[in-house]
Amino acid sequence: MEAFLYVILAAMLASSPPGQKGVSERIAPDPATVADETASASAATVEAKPEYVPMTFSERARKYIVGAFSPGAVFVAAGAGGIAQLTNTPKEWRQGAEAFGDRAGSTFAQNVIRQALEFGGSTVLRQDNRYFRSTESGFGKRSKHAIASVFVARTEGGGREFAYSRFGAVLGAAFLSRIWQPRSQDGAGDAAVSFGLNMAADIGLNLVHEFCPRPLRRRFHVH
């Protein structure tokens, strides 16, 4: 009797539909398949990350024009002229509206020279001196990135190297601007001070770009 029952049970199992076999195998995922899908998803994420796009000549020219002649450049020159007026620097220019014009005009002219030198140098060396915001989080890391970016430029391949074009432009403008300075401000030491102040201003501008709100970043084309 028991043998007969075993025969019936075996026949029932043999005649069961193929779709009802290996249910556990169909439910449990294959580890290799999961690994492949995870790797594909990760690769897709990496590929979706925007890559660095080098500047075109027209973009470089626009950067020069905006940096040298935009309302922002005029505003900065006026502000620097006002500070120099308050400190009576240089003293030979004295006070008054004409003196303020001389001081603001001197700052404006020095910036035009700096922007022209940087435009030419970065074009020849194929460097990109634009500021790119940090991809890290944390005030300290982002501040460090903003400060370090003054010393670094992007290459056409997306790499990083010393910002020769920026340093040369700031240094050259600092010395060339001694030509029209009065005697109290026409020395090499005065040019070195001007160079340091301009580099410090670049660091400050990077910090503003790094931490300014998103609408302002879009307005001023911060990357």
Please give the Cα distance from 175 to 72 (Å, whole number).
23
Q: How far is CA 48 from the centre of its chain?
A: 19
Mean pLDDT over 27-45 rounds to 50
Residue 104 backbone dihedrals phi, psi, to 5 degrees: -65, -40
Which one has a higher pLDDT value, 9 or 208? Answer: 208
The whole-number pLDDT of residue 44 equals 44
- Backbone phi, psi, residue 153, to 5°: -125, 155
Q: Average the pLDDT over each of 3-12, 29-38, 214-223 and give the range with the smallest value.
A: 3-12
Q: Does residue 90 have a cis peptide bond before it, meaning omega lies within 30 degrees of 0?
A: yes
pLDDT tens digits, residue range 143-170?
999 999 999 999 999 999 999 999 999 9
Measured between alpha carbons, how far is 178 from 189 in angstroms, rounded to an integer?
Answer: 10
* The model scores a pTM over 0.85: no
pLDDT at residue 16, rounded to an integer: 47
**Domain regions of the chain by residue span:** 57-219
Q: Is 222 helix (H, G, I), strand (E, B) or coil?
A: coil
- Cβ atoms of 164 and 154 within 8 Å: the answer is no
25 pLDDT band, cuts 50/70/90, is very low
Region at 96 (left for phi over 0; alpha for psi -120 to 50; beta for the rest): left
State how far the Cα of 139 lies from the Cα of 134, in Å rounded to an integer: 10
Helices (H), 93-213: 97-125, 139-148, 164-176, 188-211
Rounded Cα–Cα distance for residues 35 and 147 (Å) = 41
Residue 10 has pLDDT above 80, yes or no: no
Q: How confident is the model at residue 212 (pLDDT cuts 50, 70, 90)?
A: confident
Confidence of residue 53 (pLDDT cuts 50, 70, 90): very high
Sign of CA dihedral 114, 119, 120, 126: positive
Mean pLDDT value of segment 86-100: 96
Q: And the tokens for 189?
A: 């030491």
Rounded CA-CA distance 9/150 in Å is 81
